[in-house]
Amino acid sequence: RKEVEQDPGPFNVPEGATVAFNCTYSNSASQSFFWYRQDCRKEPKLLMSVYSSGNEDGRFTAQLNRASQYISLLIRDSKLSDSATYLCVVRDFGNEKLTFGTGTRLTIIP
């Protein structure tokens, strides 16, 4: 089983719709979780950290389910500019390394 798994998509979603991605991780000791966004042929950039209590940033909501070992990202009222690849990232306790999922590709359709 991969350390961090994501549905690669692609997700083709009409503008204004709500879309959700999940990411599963294999190490129950994983401590920190993040969503990064990567535009085509660009470097990844932090979208948001994922806290145990869940967190929201505008149209984006991230949640963590430790019992089932997954994190989720919900995008409401999707915009054309949301088209990108979304990378799930996990850091294990006491580990300087971050493990990236392969990414979920999202395309918002006008």
Q: Which residues bind another protein (CB under 8 A)?
A: 8, 32, 34, 36, 41-46, 49, 87, 89, 91, 96-103
Task: Please state the closest distance from residue 34 (CB atom) to another protein, in A.
Answer: 6
Closest distance to another protein from the beta carbon of 106 (Å): 14
Nearer residue to another protein within complex by CB, 67 or 96:
96
Output 95-100 pairs: Cβ under 8 A, ≥24 positions apart: 98/34, 99/3, 99/4, 99/25, 100/4, 100/36, 100/44
